[in-house]
């Protein structure tokens, strides 16, 4: 395995973990406060879609 494949798999795994964190917030409804402002739950929908897509794409690229 060369270093590019390892880098793709590590990046894909990190994006997968981030996707799981977004999904867990969507399912549990945990509040996230930034100063006095509460982050809306709908932001996590886009975060989940983006990170899950990137994770899948990076793992797919590492298989080629």
Going by C-alpha positions, the residue among 28, 32, 24, 30 that lies closest to residue 52 is 24
DSSP structure string for 1-62: --HHHHHHHHHHHHHHHHHHHHHHHHHH----EETTEEPPTHHHHHHHHHHHHHHHHHHHHH
Query: What tokens appear for 2 in the block?
Result: 């060369």
Say if residues 47 and 22 touch (Cβ distance below 8 Å): yes
Q: Is the pTM of this model over 0.75?
A: yes
- Each residue of 2-47: pLDDT tens digit? 999 999 999 999 999 999 999 999 999 999 999 999 999 999 999 9
Split at pLDDT 50, 70, 90, the class of 64 is confident
């Amino acid at each position: 395995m060369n270093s590019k494949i390892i880098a793709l798999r590590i990046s894909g795994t990190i994006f997968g973990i981030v996707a799981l964190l977004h999904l867990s917030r969507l399912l549990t409804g945990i509040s996230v406060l930034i100063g006095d402002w509460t982050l809306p739950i709908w932001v996590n929908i886009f975060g989940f879609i983006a990170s899950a897509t990137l994770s899948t794409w990076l793992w797919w690229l590492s298989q080629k």
